[in-house]
Copies of this chain bind each other. A is one copy, B any other.
Amino acid sequence: MFNAVAEPRRREILDLLMEGERPVNDIVARLELGQPQVSKHLKVLREVGLVDARDQGRMRVYRLNGHGLKPIHDWVSNYERTWSERFDALDAVLEELQDKEARDDES
Q: Footprint of B on A, CB under 8 Å?
A: 2-3, 5-6, 11, 14, 18, 64-67, 69-70, 72-73, 75-83
Kindly provide the distance from the CB of A84 to the nearest chain B CB, expressed in whole angstroms. Answer: 9
**By the criterion CB–CB under 8 Å, are B6 and A75 in contact?**
no
Between-chain CB contacts (< 8 Å), 15 pairs: A2-B2, A2-B5, A2-B6, A18-B78, A64-B79, A66-B79, A66-B81, A66-B82, A66-B83, A67-B82, A69-B82, A72-B72, A73-B73, A73-B79, A73-B80
Number of copies: 2
CA–CA, A2 to B75, complex, Å? 13
CA–CA, A80 to B68, complex, Å? 10
Of B6, B14, B64, which one neighbours A6 at CB under 8 angstroms? Answer: B6
Return chain B residues, CB-CB under 8 Å to A77.
Answer: 73
Residue of B nearest to A3 (CB): B6
Return chain B residues, CB-CB under 8 Å to A66.
Answer: 79-83
Kindly provide the distance from the CB of A68 to the nearest chain B CB, expressed in whole angstroms. Answer: 8
Return chain B residues, CB-CB under 8 Å to A70.
Answer: 83
